[in-house]
Amino acid sequence: MARILVYTSPAAGHLFPLVPGLLALQERGHDVHLRIGERLLGVAREAGINAQPTDPAIDAIAVDDYTAKRDVDKLRRGIGNLLVRGPLERRDLDRAIAEVEPDLIVVDTNSYGATVSAQASGRPWAISLPSLAPLPGKGIPPYGLGMAPARNALERVRDRVLWKLLIRQYAKAMLPRLNALRADAGLPALRSPVEHVLGPDRLLVLTGEPLEYPRTDVPPNVRFVGAQLWDPPAEAPAWLDEPGDPWVLVTTSTEYQADEELARVAVEALRDEPVRVLLTLADAYDSAELPAAANVRVERFVPHGPVLERAAAVVSHSGMGIVQKAIAAGVPIAAVPFGRDQPEVARRVVEAGAGAQLRIKDLSAERLRATVREALAMRASAQAASARMLASGGGARFADAVEELADGDRARVPVS
């Protein structure tokens, strides 16, 4: 059996999808050691995982990409925030490697410094990616722009041009600091940000059908392990089962991104509709200023699992976590992406038949109301998407992919 060291960024959306696979590895007899920020340490331990805290100075470095105005500036600021953590992560994982002496290492894609440490260790290693694969490929539209797949020759040419421009933007945002970290560890410089995810022995993509587009040219180190669905166990609040109109769940990001406007507009859009609205605000709870509405219940956090079992629709910022959970539950989505990977996720929701999209620049009470009504009418196609998702993944598939490394299979794309 293998001793496996797992290092993840301090975000619920990156920890939670790891839990099913880590538990599956433990059940198979592997010795799993997790490093996670103090805020989520108790969650990991209560799930039954052997977890220790990362350096608290890492948690203290916030991601404040939402303060930028232009999309390109948000990209640079967000990646820049993550790379500031890099030297701390590298030292942190070096210490953990010395303590645990693992047979293999799994590192979250946003923990750039830890990826450098993992590669420099010489041990088999993998990157875990709890989102869509940002990889070019035949028939794959440019990542992050929320574009539909090309349907003619002109659109295919468009895609090739935009992929080049997009990779150039990511290179400017990522490579100078990342290559400085790599040079300090004696590693060669990366020439493209794509090499960041194609460099490890495995790239574990924690999604699959129906959100990933079909690929005919998957790199040999990439494993699509499907949706990894997990929430902390929780009982359904009694008020969820009180008689009344159907529930609509409205969520904002668990990692703050100033999306209170979605909550405000959702209240205006739905306060006269024949639904009950549960609004969960997470870190936006203290800053949101909402209009009054008799059919709206506002909470900082309610476990979404019991809510989705009873929900008629979800209104979401298009975060990967809530989107995959809603699709798995067969609940149609009104997707309103704000930034980060959300425009891409929202487009995949539409392409999967799992919901409808409203662009942030078009957000108004009237248009959101219409989008929710459109989503409510998509129950049948949302349930079809659910069947595809539930058949495509789970903890066992994650564990299978990690065990390939434990068995000594290190085939990967060479990075010169």
The region of weakest confidence among 62-66, 101-105, 269-273, 382-386 is 62-66
Model confidence band, residue 416 (pLDDT cutoffs 50, 70, 90) = very low
Q: What is the pLDDT of residues 253-287, one digit of tens each?
A: 776 666 788 889 999 999 999 999 999 887 666 66
pLDDT (0 to 100) of residue 257: 63
Of 407 and 294, more confident? 294
Q: What is the pLDDT of residues 368-398, one digit of tens each?
A: 999 999 999 999 999 999 999 999 989 999 9
The domains located in the chain, with CATH, are: 3-228+393-406 (3.40.50.2000), 238-391 (3.40.50.2000)
pLDDT (0 to 100) of residue 407: 80
- Indicate if the pLDDT at residue 96 is higher than 80: yes
**Considering only CA atoms, which of 325, 314, 253, 213 is closest in space to residue 78?**
253
Highest mean pLDDT among 19-28, 279-288, 303-312: 19-28
The region of weakest confidence among 23-27, 72-76, 210-214, 259-263 is 72-76
As beta bridge partners, residue 296 has: 277
CB 109 within 8 A of CB 127: yes
Model confidence band, residue 144 (pLDDT cutoffs 50, 70, 90) = confident
pLDDT (0 to 100) of residue 63: 79
Indicate if the alpha-carbon torsion angle 182, 186, 190, 191 is positive or negative. Answer: positive
> What is the share, in percent, of the chain residues with pLDDT greater than 90?
75
**Considering only CA atoms, which of 151, 152, 148 is closest in space to residue 213?**
148
- Indicate if the pLDDT at residue 343 is higher than 70: yes
Model confidence band, residue 290 (pLDDT cutoffs 50, 70, 90) = confident
- What's the rounded mean pLDDT across residues 182-208? 95
Phi, psi of 313 (to 5 degrees): -165, 165
Indicate if the alpha-carbon torsion angle 161, 166, 169, 170 is positive or negative. Answer: negative
Model confidence band, residue 409 (pLDDT cutoffs 50, 70, 90) = low
Model confidence band, residue 7 (pLDDT cutoffs 50, 70, 90) = very high
pLDDT (0 to 100) of residue 309: 93
Helical packing angle, 71-84 and 86-100, nearest 10°: 40
Q: Where are the beta strands (DSSP E) in 258-412?
A: 276-280, 296-299, 311-316, 333-335, 355-357
Cα–Cα–Cα angle for 316, 309, 243, nearest 5°? 100
- What's the rounded mean pLDDT across residues 92-115? 97
Model confidence band, residue 300 (pLDDT cutoffs 50, 70, 90) = confident
- What's the rounded mean pLDDT across residues 52-68? 85
- Indicate if the pLDDT at residue 120 is higher than 90: yes
Of 374 and 233, more confident? 374
- Indicate if the pLDDT at residue 316 is higher than 60: yes
- What's the rounded mean pLDDT across residues 145-150? 90
- Give the C-alpha separation, 149 to 192, whole Å: 23
Helical packing angle, 86-100 and 112-120, nearest 10°: 40
- Indicate if the pLDDT at residue 415 is higher than 60: no
**Considering only CA atoms, which of 297, 393, 296, 382 is closest in space to residue 335?**
382
Query: Which 8-state DSSP code applies to residue 139?
Result: T
Helical packing angle, 320-328 and 342-351, nearest 10°: 20
pLDDT (0 to 100) of residue 77: 79
pLDDT (0 to 100) of residue 287: 64
- Indicate if the pLDDT at residue 71 is higher than 50: yes
- Give the C-alpha separation, 14 to 362, whole Å: 29
Q: What is the mean pLDDT of the chain?
A: 91
- Give the C-alpha separation, 178 to 115, whole Å: 10
